[in-house]
Structure 1
Amino acid sequence: MPPAAAEPDEPTAPAESPVARPADTREIAATMNLALRIGELLLSSGAGAGDVSAAMRNVAWACGLRGYTADVMFTELTMSYQSSPEDPALIQIRQVRYREVDYGDLTEVDHLIRALVDGSIGRAEATNRLNRIISTGHARPRWSVTAALGVMGGGVGMVLGGDWLVVAVAAAAAMLVDLMQRQMSRRRLPAFYQQVAGGLLATLIAVAVTATPAEVSPSLVISTSIIMLLAGVNFLGAIQDALTGFPVTAGARILEAFVATSGVVAGVSGGLQLSTVLGVDLGRLNPGAYSLAQTPVMVIGGAIAAAAYSFSAYAPPRALAPIAAVAAVAIWVYATVYQQGFGIAWSSALAALLLGLASYPVATRTRIPALVVVAAGITPFLPGLSIFRGLTLLGTDASAALLAMVTAAAIAIALSSGAILGEYLAQPIRRETRRLESKLAGPRLVGPHTVRRLRRRRARRATSDPT
């Protein structure tokens, strides 16, 4: 029997394309690109991963995008959008490789986000303003930044109890190290080698001062000479990410901080070995040792150091005096509580709590992000000096090294958690905004709370002022 003939296939209707229209795709891509570029600038300026994620989501929401996701890693930002389960997802990824703190740009972007989410500007105008911010460059000449770092080094030398010679050495070392690191950065040498060279140069300066007839403590001179190298290590962002649910980014930032501090240790060790070869007797060194000055001197030194650091990070001039005042009060609280018998960790936590509480109203009045006030105000507390001490003692005294590392961790956690708790207590979160805010992130150190809140506020102002 011949085989039965196969039945012809039934005609099928052409499948509908699940891809969105090109015009819609372009609009979505433009919104995602704007959010990613804003997130890149915030992350490179030291903002926490929670703040960056919330800012990206606020930008997307304000531009009319729904159903998106935003993910923040230490070196990568990702944003995706899928209109329905049947449609393919649109994904954009942006690498964050270049990091340079510029609080002037951070402030301008903060204003941009607020204007976008309250409806004052649209996406096209926001993109144009962002292009101008990125392409304009720094707001002040580079030599002024070097001078400000020298002033910061001198201010911290005052906090650590140094006399006029130690303060002068700290200021000179900070400026020389900055000039050298700038030349190395132009040749694109990794940051670790810049830290090594900076530690070596700072130690050689201290060795030269110790070789003179002047009666100074070599340990104190070395500690104050490396202040500028340790001040830039970002512990606040690392602890903030750990507390707000971004452990991977927190781990990466902590590792970066330890590698940078290890570079300083290597440079200082090389400088000490070179001093032995040159026949300079430094006596018994106590690396990372310091003694706190009298409270009035500490307050003045802390205010100078905080204001100078914010100036070196291109903060707006209007913010310098308020930052100095807030830092002075925080240092006074720290010194007062420490003299009452509290440990260094609790003293740091209470001072940082006050700093966080004060940063929100100060930032509102001066029209800057609260991150600028907190980051500059924490500078005089120097948790990096304890980490430097712990890493230096690893090869000679394991128990002292462990104690120093535990102390460093306690100081870093106390400062960061205290400042963030202050932000939680300071920011007025209403019941109807908490629900949306909980989906975005924790306390806002950069950017507005929510899109809906600012638009409601704008609507109320328009209703109360019909003219």
Structure 2
Amino acid sequence: MSFSKTTAISLDHSGYTRAVLDLTMRLAEVIFTAGAGAEDATAAMIALTRAYGLKGTDANITHTTITLTQEDALTHESIIRSRNVKYRTLDYSKLTATSELIADIIEKPIEVAEARKILATIVSSKPQVPKQWRRIGWSLVGAGAAVLIGAGPTVIIAAFVATWIIDWITSVLDHRQVPLFYQTVVGGAIGPIIAAIVRLIDPTANPSLVVVATIIMLLAGVTTFGAVHDTLSGFYLTGTARMVEALLITAGLVTGVSGSALFLARFGLLLEIDSNPIVTLAVLPVLLVAAIVIVIGFALAVQVPWRAFWVVCVLGALAEFLFVAALAGGFGLVGSSAASALGVGLLAAVTARIVRTPPLVIMVTALVPLVPGLTLFRGLLMLSEGDINGLLSLLTAAGIAMALAAGALLSQYIVQIVWGPARRLQRRFVGPLMALPVRLGRDSTKRI
């Protein structure tokens, strides 16, 4: 009788453990695929299992796999759960809603079945922004990028149309499960074609700016920030995989743009992809407007929660202002990027509490105008033409990307050290939480 009772208790506990692990992995998968870093997702899994009373849980994430292991205290049986990440797309509305659910569960655990119902509602809910408006958002990124690099009205309109077409075509290819590399090859090929049309319509315009604007738009969603974040946080495999993905996308752009330009050259339509934007305090008002347009477009495209729109617009303009001011002060591209990211990151940590949005959402959106897409592209393009100077551009782009991510991470270190959020996590974690709504303060033992 005693043996049967013990066995029943063991089976009940094993079933409960499996249910908690399954819920935990589903929550982590949603935030990871929606844009969170590996550390945030892993930290969330550890905190969730502890909230539900499971101790000794080990969580790990690679680029495409989430693994969770729990040793049963009664049977000493190791229960292992693993999920493959089959998709990854920036969706900050789902990221925010899921991170809020995670925070609520850690603060006051609810029934596993109820939590699964809430999560299912979040995942299956209609997009915050309809598809056409998300497409217009990407077009605004392209148009704003054209303004940022000194384009005129004709080029700005052409950049808007080109990026709309690129997003439409790449969406169709993605729906047909065409590999990402070939999607970017096709997307990159469209820019020179539109630029050639602009030259025919307006010979006085600089058509190369159309190509540059489409490149910036295509690279805006590249996970350079996430790659650096994961690497600095100690998730070297995931960080390296994300960086390879970013380089693969850029290589696809080089292939598409170069191939399209060579094809047009056969018809006498020579296109020199060159742009030297003037970044001075004299043109600062125009640059601020362009930065805001880019931020609004990106916010629509990745579905930033409506309540955070005003914050990302203000911080996007601030990021551009700090960058231009630091550049005018002689800090250089890398130093200016770091200073801008640090200043924006400090304010993002505070405003994130006001609008109840994870700091990652605000920081990434506000820093999009500073992403070194053009510099990265130039480096690879020069190397493809046999110019060794392309290595300098690649190193500069890598330095800017590292400066943006490192500055933003440093700001979160400072804020979370000053306010001291109680994070009951393993010692392996070396970075601050970016994608979870951190409760600041020292008076709670149940905070993330």
1:288/1:83 CA distance change after superposition, 3 Å: farther
1:336/1:370 CA distance change after superposition, 3 Å: same
Q: Distance in 1 between matches of 2:8 and 2:69?
A: 15
Q: Distance in 1 between matches of 2:21 and 2:441?
A: 20
AA matched with 2:110: I
AA matched with 1:390: G
Q: Distance in 2 between matches of 1:253 and 1:210?
A: 37
Residue 73 of structure 1 deviates from its aligned partner by 0.6
Unaligned runs of 5+ in 1: 1-13, 459-467
Matches for 1:271-350 after TM superposition, within 5 Å? 271-282=260-271, 285-287=272-274, 289-292=276-279, 294-350=283-339
Q: Which of 205, 223, 245 is matched with 2:194 structurally? A: 205
Tell me if structure 2 keeps the 8 A contact 1:78–1:91.
yes
Q: Distance in 1 between matches of 2:109 and 2:236?
A: 36
| Structure 2 counterpart SS, 1:399 | coil
Tell me if structure 2 keeps the 8 A contact 1:18–1:86.
no
Partner of 1:78: 67
- 1:118 maps onto 2:102 in alignment: no
Matches for 1:211-290 after TM superposition, within 5 Å? 211-282=200-271, 285-287=272-274, 289-290=276-277
Q: Which of 160, 166, 184 is matched with 2:149 structurally? A: 160
| Structure 1 counterpart SS, 2:234 | coil
Q: C-alpha deviations, 1:110-164, integer Å up to 9, x for none?
A: 1101111110634332211101111124122111111111112111222222222
Tell me if structure 2 keeps the 8 A contact 1:436–1:450.
no
Residue 383 of structure 1 deviates from its aligned partner by 1.4
Tell me if structure 2 keeps the 8 A contact 1:150–1:170.
yes
Residue 19 of structure 1 deviates from its aligned partner by 11
- 1:92 maps onto 2:81 in alignment: yes
Deviates more, 1:219-228 or 1:55-64: 219-228
- 1:188 maps onto 2:139 in alignment: no
Partner of 1:136: 125
Residue 218 of structure 1 deviates from its aligned partner by 3.5
| Structure 2 counterpart SS, 1:398 | coil
Q: Which of 361, 373, 378 is matched with 1:372 structurally? A: 361
Partner of 1:36: 25
1:55/1:350 CA distance change after superposition, 3 Å: same
Q: Distance in 1 between matches of 2:428 and 2:316?
A: 32
Residue 445 of structure 1 deviates from its aligned partner by 0.9
Q: Distance in 2 between matches of 1:211 and 1:246?
A: 50
Residue 433 of structure 1 deviates from its aligned partner by 2.8
AA matched with 2:38: A
Q: Distance in 1 between matches of 2:360 and 2:353?
A: 12
Residue 26 of structure 1 deviates from its aligned partner by 1.1
AA matched with 2:71: Q
1:451/1:203 CA distance change after superposition, 3 Å: same
Tell me if structure 2 keeps the 8 A contact 1:118–1:451.
no
1:281/1:452 CA distance change after superposition, 3 Å: closer
Q: C-alpha deviations, 1:245-294, integer Å up to 9, x for none?
A: 11010100000000011111111011101111222133xx2456544471
- 1:49 maps onto 2:77 in alignment: no
| Structure 2 counterpart SS, 1:351 | helix
AA matched with 1:418: G
Residue 397 of structure 1 deviates from its aligned partner by 4.4
Q: Which of 156, 160, 163 is matched with 1:174 structurally? A: 163
| Structure 1 counterpart SS, 2:68 | strand
Q: Distance in 2 between matches of 1:355 and 1:204?
A: 37
Q: C-alpha deviations, 1:220-252, integer Å up to 9, x for none?
A: 231112222111111110000111111010100
Tell me if structure 1 keeps the 8 A contact 2:60–2:68.
yes
Q: Distance in 1 between matches of 2:115 and 2:428?
A: 24
1:19/1:76 CA distance change after superposition, 3 Å: farther
Q: Distance in 2 between matches of 1:87 and 1:434?
A: 27
Deviates more, 1:390-399 or 1:199-208: 390-399
Q: C-alpha deviations, 1:60-79, integer Å up to 9, x for none?
A: 11111111100011100000
Unaligned runs of 5+ in 2: none
1:287/1:27 CA distance change after superposition, 3 Å: farther
Count of residues in Structure 1 that have an aligned counterpart in Structure 2: 442
Deviates more, 1:159-168 or 1:239-248: 159-168
Q: Distance in 2 between matches of 1:261 and 1:24?
A: 49
Residue 456 of structure 1 deviates from its aligned partner by 4.8
AA matched with 1:180: I
Q: Distance in 2 between matches of 1:432 and 1:319?
A: 22
Q: Distance in 2 between matches of 1:435 and 1:23?
A: 27
Partner of 1:9: none
Partner of 1:394: 383
1:398/1:86 CA distance change after superposition, 3 Å: farther
| Structure 2 counterpart SS, 1:71 | strand
Larger Rg: 1
Q: Distance in 1 between matches of 2:110 and 2:154?
A: 54
Residue 432 of structure 1 deviates from its aligned partner by 8.4
Q: Distance in 2 between matches of 1:298 and 1:451?
A: 34
Residue 213 of structure 1 deviates from its aligned partner by 3.5
Q: Distance in 1 between matches of 2:314 and 2:127?
A: 25
Q: Distance in 1 between matches of 2:143 and 2:384?
A: 30
Q: Distance in 2 between matches of 1:297 and 1:231?
A: 20
| Structure 2 counterpart SS, 1:67 | coil
Q: Which of 14, 17, 20 is matched with 1:25 structurally? A: 14
